[in-house]
Chain A
Amino acid sequence: MTEDPTTNTGFKWVGTRPIRPDGLDKVTGKARFGADLVLPNMIEAAIARSPHAHARIVSIDTTAAESMPGVQAVITGADFPDLKEAGAKQPDVFQAAKVMARDKVLFEGHPVAAVAAATRQEAQRAVAAIVVEYEVLPHVLTAGAAMADGAPLLHDDLITANVDPAPEASSNVASRALQQRGDLDAGFAAADVVIERNYTTKPVHQGYIEPHAAVADAGQDGRAHLWCSSQGHFDMRSSTANVLAMEPSLINVTPAEIGGGFGGKTTIYLEPIAVLLSRKAGRPVRVVMDRDEVFQATGPTSGSEMRVKIGVTNDGDITAADVFMAFEAGAFPGSPVGAAAMTALACYDIDNFFVEGFDVVVNKPKVAAYRAPGAPIIAFAVEGLIDELARAIDMDPIDLRLKNAAVEGVQAPYGPTHPRIGFVETLEAIRDSDHYRTPVAANQGRGVACGFWFNIGGNSVATVNVHEDGNVSVITGSPDIGGSRASMALFAAEEFGIDVERINPQIADTQTIGHTDVTGGSRVTLATGKVVVEACRELTADMCRRAAKMWDCEVEDVEWVNGHAQHASGTETPLSMAAIAAKAGRTGGPISTTYTENVRGAGAGFSTQLVDVEVDEETGQTKIVRYTTAQDAGKAIHPSYVEGQMQGGVVQGIGWALNEEYIHREDGTLDNPSFLDYRIPVASDLPMIETIVVEVPNPNHPYGVRGVGEVGIVPPMGAIANAIDRATGCRLHDLPMSPVRLLSAINDKNA
């Protein structure tokens, strides 16, 4: 590394706010998202879905549908390879069963058949003509109910993992997560105040505005081309290949622009269906979900039941914490309870703790990742309880957190020792903010809460080409969901020392660039950014060598300065990139390199947030009056998009806190599968979201980047619960804190 990110602040491009490279297409309507692609000879598909939460499929009769106008292909579970029969691993069997039911349907909206026809309307009419006979089974909707003795079982072969000895019988409990340290009894004995509370949260949806969409074109040679909007087209490829028992490289996946993901577009739903229909019809097939399908059948995050007990001394030392969590996984294992167990106490330095979590299947859609998966759910509980403890010992909630804050050298609850982290700096930034120094209005309440998220590194590849005019293409495999192309261009501009507008960042398909992990875990600016930086450094070194050849001098006499190779003596006219590129044929061929790395050393992300609320005691409605968020970005490459991530995460959290929830009817069907009834925040609900970007550089990244995408959604639910308590005297332990729920608490208090 040529600079020490902890001291170097002399950047020319990094930290500036140029217009994003993909912006023009997005403000003019040219950007092509998943549903926008039209191929020659393309037909359209629709999917038949279960109306029941839990049922055995007795029979499926597609004969009427097959003879309907325009219909070209009909598929059911029987058309897919039987992975269980083939001895595939259980997660792969489950993934295939999620995409298309075989014997049983496990949630309302579970696909049972699909039709490709000349038009979407014809496909939908044919879907309506498919006759499925169901034997309806008892269903179970919440983790607690699913864990109870005698609960209806979703799977007959689900053995709880991480329990010793392993149970012999199948249950709805897929696995147990555990984090523990110290002596819990001694810890609680040392406390002056111990509070224990129960909490619940509901499933909430990522709520991306673009419904899932895929276009597939399968050939007679066994290959297929897939276009889809996802957070990771290599994962779409390998998962689709798994479900269809294909070699992954026979599928080429071209990423479309993605209209929001937030974790929910890291998994397959439509892709194998589109490929199979295309193979059967011999034509390209497009399939696009309706919004109700998105709500019914794609990943929300878990509903949960939790119990948290924390002890504190009168002078504010947290002595022990005991945490129990049961998370709904949906119909197949895979809730984020493991991550919740690891993050539950990660903001704090606590000697004695026991954190136990259970991953529980229920008759709801299989959950998918949602921004810092698991962390916001348990943070709602822990951060609320910390606030109750602060009030019990009459201590400022920021001071209590500062006193117990995780700092460099503290062992994180999940194992490793923290390197340099910026948690304390986010607390101090809030404490010193104009917002915190402004007295809270008489009829309002103020809440503070914190959040932690790991951030990850992972596999990334960058190819960098210098063109004949000296301009640069930067090619990666990371779908851009929040402005990462702007960051990649800024890294390259900084490394080459040329104007950012001369950099053209591109995202290549799975045949063109090497394997790249999903855009998730706040990893792209860190990991893909790092490989871009390293590739650019290879090329500046290469261009120095070429300049030495052109000048017939030693390479040691050449250095790279401001987009030029420069001779140390000053006797030669510096060579621009265009000048070097013009002679490339004589100095080693085209100027291009590919750099690949499994990047390690992600820096942990922390956020502290402050909110003022005003509650209408007649309606129970909570208004967000003022909101400030401080987050450690390590280094903000494009500060506007760092702020954008912070603001977007906060507002998703506000929705989660106040309104959003899956509401199920008694029969197990979803009562609110629309944006009308599943109400996400709108502009008139909100104030401006004030941001404080804290920069405590990550020592493991050439520019100090930590990753900023996720942690912003961790604190809001706790912060708002704390503010509502201080505004009304009502402490809510259940999400959402909707008007009806808060009004009931206010009425109880006044009774």
Chain B
Amino acid sequence: MGRTHVSCTINGHEAEFLADAGDSLLNALRDEVSLTGVKEGCGTGDCGACSVLLDDRVTCACLIFAPEAEGTMIMTVEGLADAEHLHPLQQTFLEGSALQCGICTPGFLMAAKALLDKNPNPTETEVRYALAGNLCRCTGYDKIIRSVLDAAAQMNADQMNGASS
């Protein structure tokens, strides 16, 4: 049974792995590339815990066949911070107590990043709908929504400060 060789860019670095034709990208990322920050909650695209950015688009990694990742650019939660600084979303999630158990957190962060990349100034309703594909059973979403709005405000303020200096 031959395995497919897959080359792609993961978190800014060239990566390659082997996958069976039927393997999900989720399993490949977790088992072949050791990116266990990508979580499996359902395996059927219903919970969003495995959300990654696939060519900048938020995607459930469990719904993509691993060989489909050939030539793509993938970003997981492990690529969100740089060596010294957290992404503003990570910081506001911490400061806003937006996580309890934390299993859904990587997926929420990636879905929220995809939203803010496209819409830097979302309303509460827009945030709620953008994150409606991600399930959280601990928080009731309240502090997650607030933290995304806080991150948006902070990123906008940072950009204004950057532009004016």
List the interface of chain A (C-beta within 8 A of B): 17, 19-20, 22-33, 35-36, 38, 121, 206-211, 257-262, 288, 290-291, 481-483, 638, 640-641, 643-644, 647-652, 674-676, 680-684, 686, 688-689
Query: How long is the Cα–Cα vector from A385 to B125 in the complex, in angstroms?
Result: 35
Residues in B with CB closer than 8 Å to A32 are 36
Minimal Cβ-Cβ distance residue in A for B124: A688
Contact check, A648 vs B137: say whether CB atoms are below 8 A apart.
Answer: yes
Q: Which residue from B20, B38, B127, B138 sits with its C-beta under 8 Å from A683?
A: B127
Q: Determine whether the beta carbon of B41 is less than 8 Å from that of A210.
A: yes
Interface membership of B157, Cβ < 8 A: no
Query: Given A27-B93, A28-B37, A482-B100, are A291 and B42 also a contact pair (CB < 8 Å)?
Result: yes
Q: By CB atoms of chain A within 10 A, which of B42, B86, B132, B141 has the most? A: B141
Instruction: Name A35's contact: one of B40, B97, B105 (CB within 8 Å).
Output: B40
CA distance A643 to B100 in the complex (A): 11
A290 touching B137 by the CB < 8 A rule? no
Q: Is the interface of A mostly helix, strand, loop or mixed?
A: loop
User: Which of A25, A482, A675 is in CB contact (< 8 Å) with B46?
Assistant: A675
Q: Please, how many angstroms separate the alpha-carbon atoms of A206 and B96 in the complex?
A: 25
| A25: chain B residues within 8 A (beta carbon) | 102
Contact A27 B109 (CB under 8 A): yes
CB nearest to B23 among chain A residues: A121
Output the nearest chain A residue to B89 by Cβ-Cβ distance: A27
- Contact residues, B92-130 vs A (CB, 8 A): 93-97, 99-106, 109, 124-125, 127-129
Instruction: Check B135–A682 contact: CB distance below 8 A.
Output: yes
Closest to A288 in B: B40
Nearest CB in chain A: distance from B156 CB, A? 21
- Whether the Cβ atoms of B20 and A208 lie closer than 8 Å is no
Q: Is the CB of A28 within 8 A of B78?
A: yes
Binary contact readout B38-49 vs A (1 if CB under 8 angstroms, 0 otherwise): 111111101101
Q: Is B55 an interface residue, CB under 8 A from the partner?
A: no
Verify if B53 is at the interface (C-beta below 8 Å from A).
Answer: no
**Is B80 positioned at the interface, with any CB of A under 8 Å from its CB?**
yes
Q: B144 to nearest A CB, angstroms?
A: 7
Do A209 and B44 touch (CB < 8 A)? no
* Minimum distance in angstroms from A343 CB to a CB of chain B: 23
Q: Contact at B36–A36, with CB atoms within 8 Å?
A: yes
Q: Please give, as numbers and ranges, the residues of chain A lying within 8 Å of B86 by CB-CB distance.
A: 27-28
| B102 surroundings in chain A (CB, below 8 A) | 22-23, 25-27, 31, 257, 259
Check if B73 is an interface residue, CB within 8 A of chain A.
no
Tell which of A20, A29, A36, A675 has the most Cβ of chain B within 10 Å: A29
Contact across chains for B105 and A27 when beta carbons are under 8 A apart: yes
Q: How far apart are A440's CB and chain B's nearest CB, in angstroms?
A: 22
Question: Could you tell me if A648 and B138 are in contact, using CB atoms closer than 8 angstroms?
Answer: yes
Asked if A684 and B129 sit within 8 Å, CB to CB, the answer is yes
Q: What's the nearest-Cβ distance from chain B to residue A675, in Å?
A: 4
> Is B76 an interface residue when CB atoms closer than 8 A count as contact?
yes
**By the criterion CB–CB under 8 Å, are A683 and B106 in contact?**
no
Contact of A641 among B36, B37, B100 (CB under 8 A): B100
Q: Determine if A260 and B137 form an interchain contact, defined as CB atoms under 8 angstroms apart.
A: yes
- A209, B47: Cβ atoms closer than 8 Å: yes
| Residue B134 lies at the interface, judged by CB distance under 8 Å to chain A | yes
- Contact yes or no, B137 A207, CB < 8 A: yes
Q: Any chain A CB within 8 A of the CB of B69? A: no
Tell which of B40, B49, B131 has the most Cβ of chain A within 10 Å: B40
> If A32-B36, A290-B43 touch, does A644 touch B139 (CB 8 Å cutoff)?
yes
Could you tell me if B46 and A684 are in contact, using CB atoms closer than 8 angstroms?
no
Which residue in A19, A208, A649, A684 is a CB contact (below 8 Å) of B95?
A19
A209 touches B135 (CB 8 A): yes
Number of contact residues on B: which range applies? 35 or more
Q: Which residues from A are CB-within-8-Å of B140?
A: 644, 647-651, 681, 686, 689
A638 to B128, CA, bound (A): 26
User: In the bound complex, how far is the Cα of B80 from the Cα of A521, in angstroms?
Assistant: 37
Q: CB within 8 A of B97: which of A17, A682, A686?
A: A17
Chain B residues with CB below 8 A from A638, complex form: 97
Question: B35 in the interface, Cβ–Cβ < 8 Å?
Answer: yes
In the complex, A290→B46 CA distance in Å? 13
Q: Can you add 9 more A-B contacts, CB < 8 Å, to A208-B137, A257-B102? A: A27-B93, A28-B37, A35-B40, A209-B41, A211-B41, A259-B104, A481-B101, A482-B100, A684-B128
The one of A29, A211, A680 that contacts B78, using a Cβ cutoff of 8 Å: A29
Are the C-beta atoms of A259 and B128 separated by less than 8 Å? no
CA distance in complex: A211, B143 (Å): 24
Known: A29-B76, A121-B20, A683-B127. A209 touches B144 (CB 8 A): no
A685 to chain B, nearest CB (A): 8
Residue on A with the closest CB to B111?
A683
Smallest distance from the beta carbon of A155 to chain B beta carbons, Å?
33
Q: Which residues of B contact A649 (CB under 8 A)?
A: 140
Tell whether, in the assembled complex, residue A27 and residue B136 are in contact, meaning their CB atoms are under 8 Å apart. Answer: no
Task: Give the residues in chain A near B142, CB-CB below 8 Å.
Answer: 643, 647, 686, 688-689
Q: Check: B66 CB closer than 8 A to any chain A CB.
A: no
Query: Complex Cα distance A680/B131, Å?
Result: 14
Contact yes or no, B132 A682, CB < 8 A: yes
When distances are taken between beta carbons in the complex, the residues of chain A under 8 Å from B127 are: 683
Q: Which residue of B lies closest to A33 (CB)?
A: B103
Instruction: For A676, give its contact among B46, B93, B94 (CB under 8 Å).
Output: B46
Partner of A259 from B37, B97, B103, B144 at Cβ < 8 Å: B103
> How far is the CB of A190 from the nearest CB of chain B, in Å?
42
Residues of A within 8 A of B144 (CB): 683
Q: Are A29 and B100 in contact (CB under 8 A)?
A: no
B58 in contact (CB, < 8 A): no
**Nearest residue, chain A, Cβ from B133:** A682
B61 CB–A CB distance under 8 Å: no
Q: B90 on the interface (CB 8 Å rule)?
A: yes
CA A32 – CA B125 in complex, angstroms?
32
Question: A258, B101: Cβ atoms under 8 Å?
Answer: yes
Task: Flag if A20 contacts B94 (CB, 8 Å).
Answer: yes
A209 touches B104 (CB 8 A): yes
Question: How far apart sit A523 and B145, CA to CA, in the bound complex (Å)?
Answer: 29
Instruction: Produce 1/0 per residue, B73-90, CB < 8 A to A.
Output: 000111011000010001
Give Cα A25–Cα B106 distance, bound, in whole angstroms: 10
18 A-B pairs (CB sep. < 8 Å): A20-B94, A24-B94, A25-B102, A27-B86, A27-B109, A28-B81, A28-B90, A38-B34, A209-B39, A209-B135, A481-B101, A640-B96, A644-B143, A682-B133, A683-B131, A683-B132, A683-B141, A684-B132
